[in-house]
Structure 1
Amino acid sequence: MTNVNTEARKIIEKVREEFGYTFEEMAELCGVATGSLQRWYSTGRAKANKIQALENLISNTRLPEQKVAENLIEIYWHVKRPITISYNQLRDISGRNRLSESVIENISEELYEHGFTLIEDKDDDGRVVYSIVRKKWLSKKMTTVNESILKDYHKKRVELELMEEEF
């Protein structure tokens, strides 16, 4: 039995969109007649081994995490301030169908090596977003917690608890 790829229409559309190839050019890449490729497009089905050349073409648009991080840094410098990017935008920039935790971690590590931090958050609608800020910006006006601060915090906490007990 021959393996069938049921994503043929999507693959063909993506190749047309990203590379501007005609049906004839795609058929030539796959080693089939133009009519066969047009049939794949209309039915959405193709022999997996025949459409593999087009799949390879679009899968090569997947950027390495290092390049994704470099692109995010370029966007940061373009707007000259911290940026927030949606999960879908980050996924599209990376050229992937989805972003695994390991890909996010690798992008984060690449950013960190270049002096940036990736912070995961949710927007008002509950969708995942990522903020990219310079590490230097994070520590600008921060106070380092020391023993004195901890003692003062605990002292005030105890005082508040005592006041609450009195009422």
Structure 2
Amino acid sequence: MRWMAFFLLATGWLLSGSGCTSDKARRESELAKLAGDLVGQYESADRRGAALAILPVHAGMIGDRVFYLERRSGDGEQSQHMLTIELVDGKEIVQHAFVFKDAPRWRNALQTPELLKSLVPQDLRLIARCEVKLTESGDALEYSCGGITETLQRVTE
């Protein structure tokens, strides 16, 4: 489960300190900013060698804000996931994490994103849904979802 917390943490880069609120316009603005700034390279703050790359995907059948995630563990194992973020009831930002049913088919999507043009909902299996809760400390973020807490750091280039 720790790998799931690692890539899900990246979804909260800009939401630190913001709890649930009825201010729908503000939350929509936060969601739009998050979606714009989410893309990038991340590494585990504990420096164990784990890394994450996030790429935006235009996949209207999946959602309005969809991302491809490619994760590499400290031992070199690689996995691919899809992530959506959305505003629910104008109050909370919710993420959905998916795995590919036919993972080998999507293996090189980071290098060849045109592979994702054929993506349909039937290609994915939902593995997690939770509200994003964050705490920001300097360049690091602490993510909490469903009892899992993880810290990530954005890679600066």
Higher RCO, Cα 8 Å, sep 6+: 2
TM-score of the superposition, structure 1-length normalised? Answer: 0.21
**1 or 2, which has the higher helix percentage?**
1
Normalising by structure 2, what TM-score? 0.22
